[in-house]
A and B are shown apart, each in its own frame.
Chain A
Amino acid sequence: EAQVTQNPRYLITVTGKKLTVTCSQNMNHEYMSWYRQDPGLGLRQIYYSMNVEVTDKGDVPEGYKVSRKEKRNFPLILESPSPNQTSLYFCASSPHDRGLVGYTFGSGTRLTVV
């Protein structure tokens, strides 16, 4: 089944403890992206990648890192999480870097930083 897989679905962590949220897609898509979703603010883009070894900042990149060493994987790294990074995170992929055919989203990761 064609899909975007995120792990974990739920995560509670403490301030300052490094964590990684994984994202993998099996559709051979070039474009991958991370979003956070917060009440009243909608979906905001954190980072995106147009292809292997190519990453760019989105609207809210502060406090996050990403890497794209392989086409299928696009992990989101929080080196030192803070409570304002408590949010619902979505990974998405697309076969085109401009979303011409729309994104496929993962099921989300609910992160709580205490």
Chain B
Amino acid sequence: GESVGLHLPTLSVQEGDNSIINCAYSNSASDYFIWYKQESGKGPQFIIDIRSNMDKRQGQRVTVLLNKTVKHLSLQIAATQPGDSAVYFCAENINSGNTPLVFGKGTRLSVIA
């Protein structure tokens, strides 16, 4: 498969445990945030999004938390499975502006069976 990133921070988690992946975003004016998952050899895949008028949003086994005070975003994965092994990116955007998504550099999640 493709090498997504050789120098990424890596999080190793035991199968069945919960994972928390963190992201610091750069622009205090950003008001829309997305988490993407990128498996080896594939393009990034949308996981979950959140708008700045919320501080928490839940999906299936995933939760995104937003702390605008410190410009911090986190992705929590419950009961991590081997299929969750991938690189995870956060992305930010200013809805009211004419700016594209800005992506973070990513975190590699490795699930230990």
8 A Cβ contacts from B3-22 to A: 3-8
Q: Separation in Å of the B108 CB from the closest CB of chain A?
A: 11
Does chain A have a CB within 8 A of B61? no
**Category for how many chain A residues contact B:** 20 to 34
Cross-chain contact B100 with A39 (CB below 8 angstroms): no
8 A Cβ contacts from A96-111 to B: 97-108, 110
Find chain B residues with CB under 8 A from A102 CB: 34, 36, 46, 49
Find chain B residues with CB under 8 A from A108 CB: 2, 41-43
Query: In the complex the two chains form, what is the Cα distance from A51 to B84 in whole Å?
Result: 35
Q: Separation in Å of the B44 CB from the closest CB of chain A?
A: 5
Cross-chain contact B46 with A103 (CB below 8 angstroms): yes
Most chain B CB within a 10 A radius of its CB, from A58, A90, A100, A103: A103
Cross-chain contact A40 with B2 (CB below 8 angstroms): no
Given contacts A43-B44, A103-B46, contact A48 B2 (CB under 8 A): no
Find chain A residues with CB under 8 A from B36 CB: 102
Would you call the interface of chain B mostly helix, strand, loop, or mixed?
loop
Query: In the complex the two chains form, what is the Cα distance from A101 to B20 in whole Å?
Result: 23
Query: In the complex the two chains form, what is the Cα distance from A101 to B45 in whole Å?
Result: 12
Most chain B CB within a 10 A radius of its CB, from A33, A42, A45, A97: A42
Q: Separation in Å of the B50 CB from the closest CB of chain A?
A: 11
Does chain A have a CB within 8 A of B95? yes
A-B residue pairs in contact (CB < 8 Å), sample of 25: A4-B43, A33-B100, A39-B3, A39-B4, A39-B5, A39-B6, A40-B5, A40-B6, A42-B5, A42-B89, A42-B103, A42-B104, A42-B106, A58-B100, A88-B2, A90-B43, A92-B43, A98-B94, A99-B34, A101-B49, A102-B46, A103-B46, A105-B45, A106-B43, A108-B43
Interface residues of B (CB under 8 A from A): 2-8, 32, 34, 36, 41-46, 49, 89, 91, 93-95, 97-101, 103-106
Q: What are the 5 tightest A-B residue pairs by CB atom distance, in nearest-first order?
A: A105-B43, A42-B105, A102-B46, A43-B103, A40-B7
